[in-house]
């Protein structure tokens, strides 16, 4: 289920995590060649993606919301 990105935080390994409108979290790594998300590496890039949808597998599973 597509959910918009509403904010970000970093996990204990300093990887970026998108906070979705549904209350779930999803890692958003730039890890070429497997995952190409260069926008993750800058504040401007992350801000430009606010409101953009990500496919939330946790919604599909009916998982409870995440907490930091």
Tens digits of residue pLDDT in 31-53: 888 889 999 999 999 999 999 99
Where along the chain do its domains lie?
2-61
How many angstroms separate the CA atoms of 53 and 68, rounded?
21
Whether the predicted pLDDT of 57 surpasses 90: yes
Q: Indicate the CATH number of 2-61 among 1.10.1740, 2.40.50, 2.10.25, 1.10.3470.
A: 2.40.50
pTM, 2 dp: 0.91
**DSSP character at residue 39:** G
Are 45 and 38 a contacting pair, CB within 8 Å?
yes
How far is Cα 21 from Cα 3, in angstroms, rounded to an integer? 6
2-24: pLDDT as tens digits:
999 999 999 999 999 999 999 99
């Amino acid at each position: 289920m597509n959910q918009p990105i509403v904010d970000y935080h970093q996990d204990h390994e300093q990887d970026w995590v998108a906070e979705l409108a549904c209350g779930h979290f999803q890692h958003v790594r730039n890890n070429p060649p497997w995952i190409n998300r260069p926008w993750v590496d800058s504040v401007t890039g992350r801000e430009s993606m606010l409101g953009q949808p990500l496919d939330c597998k946790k919604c599909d599973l009916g998982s409870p919301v995440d907490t930091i």
